[in-house]
Chains A and B, each alone.
Chain A
Amino acid sequence: MMKSIKLDLNKQFYTRESITEAAKAFEKMIDVMISEEGNRYKLSLDVFENIDADEVKGEFVNYCMIFSKRKIKPHLFWTYNYEL
């Protein structure tokens, strides 16, 4: 059995590419449906019942955030901490 989680992300902070990248990273755990409404992405995540939905949701949004950040600020190789 699958359960469905709804997510609502602001387009001004999360890119569509980052959401698809995150969906790819989580493809073995969840199915992601993306739709758009105004300036928001409406996501529906289908998760298996035995998986902690809150944890998956949180991790998924964190991944979206990290992938979106890469588009805003590509790292420079000489910065002291290239991961930030």
Chain B
Amino acid sequence: MILSKVKKMKIGQLGNIDINGKSALISVNPKIYTLSAIFSAAQTLSDEAYFIIDGNPSEEIFVEIRGKKEEDATSLAYKFNEELVNHIVYEQRDMQTKKIKKMIMQKMLMPEKYDHYIDKAILEKITKNECELKDDEIDKIRLE
């Protein structure tokens, strides 16, 4: 469904938004945007709009937006898309630095004699100031 929309799309036109009067229906690909990113984006705009989330979390998610005041549905939909990107970037960054942050907390809270509990490879990364993990390392953390 989305692919057919994307094929029809012209440059500069966002193909995931359907405007229906005062409300907008946005379709989101759950393989790109996580459920928590969608919820976070909606929560960020919850002062400006009402949201209903529906669809299938493994195939396609629909977000219906209706402005609380007279705000244009199109601009709210664009704002939502923007927030979605912000949150997914934040989540990716969070995931990349998750292990490092955990290690830093452990190092801060635990006395030095327990240092052997800390993963040596990660500790080395901290000391070298390499705070980003590779994609396969992120996948491992996601599975944990």
Summarize A's interface: helix, strand, loop or mixed. Answer: helix
Classify chain B's interface size: 20 to 34
Residues of B within 8 A of A61 (CB): 50-52
Residues of A within 8 A of B43 (CB): 65-66, 69, 84
Q: Which residue of A lies closest to B94 (CB)?
A: A79
Q: Which residue of B lies closest to A39 (CB)?
A: B56
Whether, in the assembled complex, A73 has its beta carbon less than 8 Å from a beta carbon of chain B, the answer is: yes
Which of A9, A14, A62, A84 is B40 in contact with, Cβ under 8 Å? A84
| A53-84 interface with B by 8 A CB criterion | 55, 57-59, 61-62, 65-66, 68-69, 72-73, 78-79, 84
Residues of A within 8 A of B40 (CB): 69, 73, 84
Q: Which 3 A-B pairs have the closest CB atoms?
A: A58-B50, A69-B39, A73-B36
Q: How far is the CA of A72 from the CA of B57 in the complex (A)?
A: 13
| A40-60 interface with B by 8 A CB criterion | 55, 57-59
Whether, in the assembled complex, B122 has its beta carbon less than 8 Å from a beta carbon of chain A, the answer is: no
Pair B50/A59 contact, Cβ less than 8 Å: yes
| B30-74 interface with A by 8 A CB criterion | 35-36, 39-40, 42-44, 46, 50-57, 66, 68
Classify chain A's interface size: 20 to 34
Pair B53/A13 contact, Cβ less than 8 Å: yes
New contact pairs (7) apart from A10-B54, A84-B40, CB-CB < 8 Å = A10-B55, A13-B54, A61-B52, A65-B39, A65-B43, A65-B46, A72-B36
Whether, in the assembled complex, A12 has its beta carbon less than 8 Å from a beta carbon of chain B, the answer is: yes
Shortest B100–chain A CB gap in Å is 11
Pair A68/B39 contact, Cβ less than 8 Å: yes
Which of A13, A57, A79 is B57 in contact with, Cβ under 8 Å? A13
Pair A78/B42 contact, Cβ less than 8 Å: no
Residues of B within 8 A of A73 (CB): 36, 39-40
